[in-house]
A and B are shown apart, each in its own frame.
Chain A
């Protein structure tokens, strides 16, 4: 099992290094096969112009069978985007990170999805239950059972 996860991540990393990341996404740190960091910004017309966010991926031994734990970094002056599906602690409510995760998806695919999630945002505001959630949220966003109710953004 260990071999699958590290081999797969090695392959993904190699592809990123050879072919580069899609526009607006940059690899910051991938020293091991447990935590990777990316920066992500939305290109073109959007509510998030000139804003740059840091995205953290954490992988367990079961990756890619089980989904990675993905969240925005909110320490050292970095902020999570103000978005109806992003909590102020950086946790993201997105179905592909939960029950719609498929082993065929990759780190870059997740980045691109989140990028387009930001790009299609019409109105900057926090999720309605932000305060309540952040107060009791587990450290790892995968431990939260999100209820996916909005397909539009």
Chain B
């Protein structure tokens, strides 16, 4: 039974996400941002039948398109629950944007849900306030109250969706927009208003209150709201009164920051910054609670990526969801001081790197071909072990009985293990008892005990050696990829030289740039193949994998060498031919590695020598450490 239910649930999800995707694409096309459109075209080619097995379906969304889908959710809730959009937004925020759970909970205890999410005042406190403003309330009619009072109406709206949507369209935008001013007017009734925050009592003071009726002047509300948003990064702005849990709806925040209601003395620029930040915080909260979405981790970027195919943890064992948010480089503001060096012909410089990251894990780079679980395992190991391992290797030995690692910092060769009390000789590693009376000199190399101990020693060293073998290659490629910035600068210079010394045009010397880019890309792949190879269980599969790795590495190093070679005018055409050929070849090899690994994951071909989340535990004989 339960599995049936789950299936139907998933279908609903798929339907939902498809709809969402379409909307986003339409939305993007509407934008007259050229880059975005270009990107979308690329994207469509990728998703077509030609999509490689190591690539993943995704859509990149701007902040405004996420806002759009956020608004859709709000409208959806408005339609079903028959509440104001502002109230619906508060409800959704409190329930972590989970529509299903919100509707379910709201059906059970509407009042509690409203109070918990700060959209309504709890019962005892509410009654007197409502009475005091009764004339005003009935006119303004915030439908949150209506919803609390009549459950029957709510149920009927559920069964008759058409009616509820009609109801919604009447009450939504106008009502919520006017509410702000209505509230302001309602509390203006008393002849002299003294703001309880700043104690100002000048007649032109504008009292402002949320549904709870706790008024303060607009200046204080403004300062409070800004401090909450800017200093605390908070999108849930509560009433200032102690113990009051009412939360300011979005239109209230908008009004207090950027509209006629914003206090006259306040800093317009600061207001605007706070409002922008508030919208961003909302989007972030929406994105972080939706498993199909992920916020771009690059600093200053506000884009989001939707990748519905990589939401479940189990799928991460068969694919590597590397995505790009579509933006490039660092946003202008952060870049102002130092304009990115770009050549007159307007080629994209290295500073305009695409924002590539992994949808499935926190790694902020392309870790193909290796899956998230293994990549994380490797990074963790490197973090913990590399330097330590190097030091251990050169400074310590293991006790031949209990394998504790021992550093000898003085004294004679007669060692007594602190842990297991085993007595042995530091020089030959054999048991001390065999040394008899030959104190402090070890000339017993060929004794049986010593040989056995040294064997054990070398076995334990072997695992360290093995790790360092992979780590050094990994680190090497990482280092080379970093150096590619320099290589790039050098290459640009070479490209210019080439134009001068030969009759090649700018377009014709682009082969250098392409080669550099390809080398960098392949080094990233190579880097991660070492992480993968370290954890791959021995066998034919691993041999094949390492063959592919070796071919790619050879090709990349060849191309690298060509790029570094000095340019002589007479052999430019030859060089050009060579580099172009090699680039194409390298590209092919890289694709083979990626493609083969990706299909391997899909077929479940790869076996590990350690236990990896989501994979079968390795058989005993292939376990390494």
A7 beta carbon closer than 8 Å to chain B: yes
Stretch at the interface among A31-39, A62-70, A127-135, A144-152: A62-70
Stretch at the interface among A19-27, A79-87, A102-110, A115-123: A102-110
* Pair A7/B242 contact, Cβ less than 8 Å: no
Considering the complex, give the chain B residue whose CB is closest to the CB of A1.
B223
In angstroms, Cα B215 to Cα A103, docked, is 12
A28 beta carbon closer than 8 Å to chain B: no
Chain A: number of interface residues, binned into ranges: 10 to 19
A78 beta carbon closer than 8 Å to chain B: no
Are A7 and B227 also in contact (CB < 8 A) when A65-B220, A102-B242, A104-B240 are?
A: no
Of residues 141 through 200 on chain B, the ones whose CB sits less than 8 Å from some CB of chain A are: 196-200
Are A105 and B242 also in contact (CB < 8 A) when A7-B200, A8-B199, A65-B227 are?
A: yes
In angstroms, Cα B354 to Cα A96, docked, is 47
In angstroms, Cα B231 to Cα A96, docked, is 18
A124 beta carbon closer than 8 Å to chain B: no
In angstroms, Cα B227 to Cα A4, docked, is 14
* Pair A104/B196 contact, Cβ less than 8 Å: yes
Are A7 and B199 also in contact (CB < 8 A) when A62-B223, A65-B220, A66-B227 are?
A: yes
Residues of B within 8 A of A64 (CB): 197-198
Considering the complex, give the chain B residue whose CB is closest to the CB of A10.
B199
* Pair A104/B242 contact, Cβ less than 8 Å: yes
Are A104 and B198 also in contact (CB < 8 A) when A65-B227, A66-B227 are?
A: no
Are A8 and B198 also in contact (CB < 8 A) when A1-B223, A62-B223, A66-B227 are?
A: yes
Are A103 and B200 also in contact (CB < 8 A) when A62-B227, A66-B227 are?
A: no
* Pair B220/A4 contact, Cβ less than 8 Å: yes
Q: How far is the CB of A20 from chain B (nearest CB, A)?
A: 18
Residue of B197, B200, B223, B231 near A104 (CB, 8 A) is B197
In angstroms, Cα B240 to Cα A4, docked, is 15
In angstroms, Cα B243 to Cα A103, docked, is 11
Residues of A within 8 A of B220 (CB): 4, 65, 103
B219 beta carbon closer than 8 Å to chain A: yes
A76 beta carbon closer than 8 Å to chain B: no
Q: How far is the CB of A66 from chain B (nearest CB, A)?
A: 7
Residue of A11, A62, A100 near B242 (CB, 8 A) is A100
Are A4 and B242 also in contact (CB < 8 A) when A11-B199, A12-B199, A64-B197 are?
A: no
- Which residue of B199, B216, B219, B243 has the most chain A CB atoms within 10 A of its CB atom? B199
In angstroms, Cα B244 to Cα A100, docked, is 11
B53 beta carbon closer than 8 Å to chain A: no
Q: How far is the CB of A90 from chain B (nearest CB, A)?
A: 24
B615 beta carbon closer than 8 Å to chain A: no
* Pair B196/A4 contact, Cβ less than 8 Å: no
Residues of B within 8 A of A12 (CB): 199
In angstroms, Cα B240 to Cα A96, docked, is 13
In angstroms, Cα B214 to Cα A64, docked, is 16
B241 beta carbon closer than 8 Å to chain A: yes
Please tell me the number of chain B residues within 8 Å of chain A, measured between CB atoms: 17
Residues of A within 8 A of B606 (CB): none
In angstroms, Cα B231 to Cα A62, docked, is 11
Q: How far is the CB of A13 from chain B (nearest CB, A)?
A: 11
Q: How far is the CB of B236 from chain A (nearest CB, A)?
A: 13
In angstroms, Cα B224 to Cα A118, docked, is 31
Q: How far is the CB of B201 from chain A (nearest CB, A)?
A: 9
Q: How far is the CB of B133 from chain A (nearest CB, A)?
A: 20
Q: How far is the CB of B195 from chain A (nearest CB, A)?
A: 9
In angstroms, Cα B198 to Cα A62, docked, is 11
Q: How far is the CB of A143 from chain B (nearest CB, A)?
A: 13
* Pair B197/A8 contact, Cβ less than 8 Å: yes
In angstroms, Cα B198 to Cα A12, docked, is 10
In angstroms, Cα B214 to Cα A72, docked, is 32
Of residues 205 through 245 on chain B, the ones whose CB sits less than 8 Å from some CB of chain A are: 214, 216, 219-220, 223-224, 227, 231, 240-243
* Pair B198/A4 contact, Cβ less than 8 Å: yes
Residues of B within 8 A of A96 (CB): 242
Residues of A within 8 A of B227 (CB): 62, 65-66
Residues of A within 8 A of B223 (CB): 1, 4, 62, 65
In angstroms, Cα B224 to Cα A104, docked, is 11
In angstroms, Cα B201 to Cα A7, docked, is 11
Of residues 45 through 82 on chain A, the ones whose CB sits less than 8 Å from some CB of chain B are: 62, 64-66
Q: How far is the CB of A146 from chain B (nearest CB, A)?
A: 16
Are A103 and B240 also in contact (CB < 8 A) when A62-B223, A62-B227, A65-B223 are?
A: yes
Residues of A within 8 A of B243 (CB): 102
Residue of A4, A8, A65, A104 near B241 (CB, 8 A) is A104
In angstroms, Cα B40 to Cα A71, docked, is 59
Of residues 466 through 496 on chain B, the ones whose CB sits less than 8 Å from some CB of chain A are: none
In angstroms, Cα B199 to Cα A117, docked, is 27
* Pair A102/B240 contact, Cβ less than 8 Å: yes
In angstroms, Cα B231 to Cα A12, docked, is 26
Complex interface bits, B233-276 against A, C-beta within 8 A gives 1, otherwise 0: 00000001111000000000000000000000000000000000
* 24 A-B pairs (CB sep. < 8 Å): A4-B197, A4-B198, A4-B219, A4-B220, A7-B199, A8-B197, A8-B199, A62-B223, A62-B227, A64-B198, A65-B197, A65-B220, A65-B223, A65-B227, A66-B231, A103-B197, A103-B220, A103-B224, A103-B240, A104-B197, A104-B214, A104-B240, A104-B241, A104-B242
A residues bordering B, Cβ < 8 Å? 1, 4, 7-8, 11-12, 62, 64-66, 96, 100, 102-105
**Leading 9 A-B pairs by shortest Cβ distance:** A11-B199, A102-B242, A103-B197, A103-B240, A4-B198, A8-B198, A104-B241, A65-B227, A65-B224
| Given A65-B223, A103-B197, A104-B196, 6 more pairs with CB closer than 8 A | A4-B198, A8-B199, A12-B199, A103-B216, A103-B240, A104-B197
